[in-house]
Amino acid sequence: MEKKCNWLTALIIGLCIVISCVALAFGLSHFRAESSHVITATGSASVDFDADIIIWRGSFSATAYTSQEAYSKIKGDADLVKKYLSDNGVTDEEAVFNSVDIGRTYDDVYDENGNYSGSVPTGYQLTQSITITSSNIDTIEKISREISTLLDQGVELTSESPEYYYSGLDDLKLDLIDKASANAKERIDIMAKNTGAKVGKLNNSTLGVFQITAKNTGTSSYSYDGAFDTSSKHKTASITVRLEYGLK
């Protein structure tokens, strides 16, 4: 009786193992079949546009033995810069003069053998920076090129390269997403038509990186985490969208 029970138990266990293996195999094959019944495509869209905002930054400095002398000098320089900007059509709202930074200046001291022995203070250097933000791009470009003429008036001014931005970037991006999505769907429809398949529901969508590059620079300027060019007035924006559809 005991042997019969053991045989029956072993048979039941064996059947359970077989049934489990069959169910697992069926499930895996069904999963592979279902997962393979998809079609994917990546669509893209791009547009050329011009910046409508320019930002220019510069700075000027003054050096003197005392802080009072240096401040008097930089205040006079600031008046010359403001006059130059005003004469060239820049408004007070467009130009922002930042606070003055102050620092000490030093000269290195060497002994009679040429060994460095320390430094001694020689005076003060004051620096003030300016930022101009404007939609009048041509005017600010001209100023950024010619403001060095203030050097003739004793203003020690450093000019940075202009930066270019676009105020309608959000709307432009949404429009590109719409066009890239339509492009991806069109590709999917073409592939399905040519293979005799029928497109089902959307399974997944992935938005690619939004890129802004200088116009006519090509894809070599693209960045993995998204390029954002500010050096060029003429730009190209692009984006990709990847769609995955099920097949009926």
Torsion angle of C-alpha atoms 91, 93, 95, 101, degrees rounded to 10:
140
- State how far the Cα of 167 lies from the Cα of 104, in Å rounded to an integer: 41
Query: What one-letter code names the amino acid at 193?
Result: K
- Is beta strand 116-134 parallel, antiparallel or unpaired with respect to 53-64? antiparallel
Query: What is the separation of C-alpha 248 from the centre of its chain, rounded to a whole number of angstroms?
Result: 40
- pLDDT at residue number 114: 79
Question: Which runs of consecutive H residues, i.e. helices, occur in the chain?
Answer: 2-36, 67-87, 137-146, 169-195
- 161, 58 Cβ separation under 8 angstroms: no
Question: How many angstroms separate the CA atoms of 68 and 188, rounded?
Answer: 73
pLDDT at 120: 85
- Give the pLDDT confidence score for residue 68 in this predicted structure: 94
Bridge partners (DSSP) listed for residue 22 = none
- What is the pTM (predicted TM-score) of this model? 0.77
CA angle 178, 246, 32 (to 5 degrees): 140
| Separation between Cα atoms, residue 204 and residue 244, nearest integer Å | 5
What is the b/e burial string over 106-130, where b = at least 16 CB atoms within 10 angstroms of the residue's CB?
eeeeeeeeeeeeeeeeeebbbbbbb
Can you tell me the distance from the alpha carbon of 55 to that of 52, in angstroms, rounded to the nearest whole number? 10
3-state secondary structure (DSSP) of residue 98: coil
pLDDT in tens for each of the 248 residues of the chain? Answer: 554 555 555 555 555 554 554 444 444 344 344 446 899 999 999 999 999 999 999 999 999 999 999 999 999 999 999 999 999 999 999 999 999 999 999 888 888 887 888 888 899 999 999 999 999 999 999 999 988 889 889 898 999 999 999 999 999 999 999 999 999 999 999 999 998 889 999 999 999 999 999 998 866 566 666 789 999 999 999 999 999 999 98
Cβ pair 177, 195 in contact under 8 A:
no
Q: How many CB atoms lie within 10 A of CB 181?
A: 18
Q: What's residue 35's pLDDT?
A: 46
Please name the amino acid found at residue 60.
F
Other residues' Cβ atoms within 10 Å of the Cβ of residue 212: 23
Report d(CA 237, CA 154) in Å as an integer.
43
